[in-house]
């Protein structure tokens, strides 16, 4: 699959952009574990153009995570265009590698974003969505992609026609999450409409499917049944960054990899923590790892007390000691 001149190979696996999850440390780890492309947390266009330090920092990417997409969101056309121009120059502005792809978030369903017309709130204004996309495409040199949903609600699943319109204004790939905005993350993702977009004879850009892919068998079924060019994986990566390696092995061999041992999970958690500390220092590097750390060890018996210690301490040595203890007790 190619996004403009960016060749991601056959049946690529992509890490979804997720706020407070896909920071630099997690993106590097997922690339090490087989993700073919990763995306930043979504960045507010108004924050970028105000030179807000947090927004600028989110735009900094590392060479070892490339290829990487920098994702922006917003509902004001002028702000989106200016923010996209900044992303186009991300290496110069924020340092690091920069963007291989500029991705527009028209899919985030949370109320504080969608409620003001950004993210998937734009599904209620498809003409404006297309106009913003066209303006961004014309303003930048890097390839522009879009991530969106099926529609606003069950009565307005407009994705088949909308996909054509977005393609016609110049996007180079489209990611579709198989739910409406009103579903949020409830119910099952509807991949039939994702397949309908992919199999529309008018479509020629890559179609990336997203939603409810939790294991290698589901991933292969999505490729085989719906014909998508790539799969994007989100929540299933929490505490499970090696899911990309599992899926790739299954796609290539038809065999499932054995489950990771506790010792191997400890080593990955340790690697993740080290990356986080290198990027953010103390105590932030520890604090922002809490979401991930407890997920690495799901299913271990009598783990509640250890988990509580793990997600409350800010002492680095104590945390590494807890990881050693997990290895000794459960390995």
Distance CA 132, CA 3 (A): 20
- Report whether 29 contacts 268 (CB < 8 A): yes
Residue 10's nearest CA partner among 248, 172, 213, 181 is 248
Distances (CA, A) of 263 to 177, 246, 260, 266, 326: 34, 17, 8, 5, 8
Residue 71's nearest CA partner among 134, 22, 29 is 22
Q: In the structure encoding, which two tokens stand for residue 242, read together?
A: 């090696």
Residues recognised as catalytic: 108
């Amino acid at each position: 699959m190619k996004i403009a001149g960016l060749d991601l190979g056959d049946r690529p696996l992509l890490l979804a952009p997720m706020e407070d999850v896909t920071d630099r440390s997690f993106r590097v780890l997922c690339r090490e574990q087989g993700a073919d492309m990763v995306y930043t947390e979504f960045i507010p266009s108004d924050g970028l153009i105000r030179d807000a330090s947090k927004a600028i920092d989110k735009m900094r990417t590392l060479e070892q995570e490339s290829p990487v997409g920098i994702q922006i969101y917003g509902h004001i056309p002028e702000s989106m265009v200016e923010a996209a121009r900044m992303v186009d120059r991300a290496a110069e502005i924020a340092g690091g590698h920069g963007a291989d792809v500029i991705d527009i978030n028209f899919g985030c369903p949370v109320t504080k974003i969608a409620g003001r017309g950004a993210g998937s709130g734009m599904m209620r204004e498809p003409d404006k969505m297309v106009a913003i996309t066209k303006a961004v495409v014309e303003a930048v040199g890097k390839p522009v992609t879009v991530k969106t949903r099926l529609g606003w609600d069950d009565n307005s699943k407009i994705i088949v026609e909308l996909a054509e319109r977005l393609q016609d204004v110049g996007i180079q790939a489209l990611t579709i999450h198989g739910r409406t905005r009103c579903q949020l993350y409830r119910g099952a993702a509807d991949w039939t409409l994702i397949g309908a977009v992919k199999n529309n004879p008018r479509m020629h850009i890559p179609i990336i499917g997203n939603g409810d892919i939790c294991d290698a068998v589901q991933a292969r079924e999505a490729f085989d049944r719906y014909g998508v060019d790539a799969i994007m994986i989100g929540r299933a990566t929490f505490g499970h960054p090696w899911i990309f390696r599992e899926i790739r092995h299954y796609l290539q061999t038809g065999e499932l990899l054995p489950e990771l041992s506790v010792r191997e999970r400890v080593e990955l958690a340790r690697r993740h923590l080290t990356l986080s500390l290198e990027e953010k220092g103390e105590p932030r590097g520890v604090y922002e790892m809490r979401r991930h750390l407890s997920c690495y060890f799901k299913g271990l018996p009598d783990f509640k007390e250890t988990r509580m210690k793990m997600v409350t301490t800010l002492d680095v040595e104590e945390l590494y000691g807890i990881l050693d203890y997990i290895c000794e007790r459960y390995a």
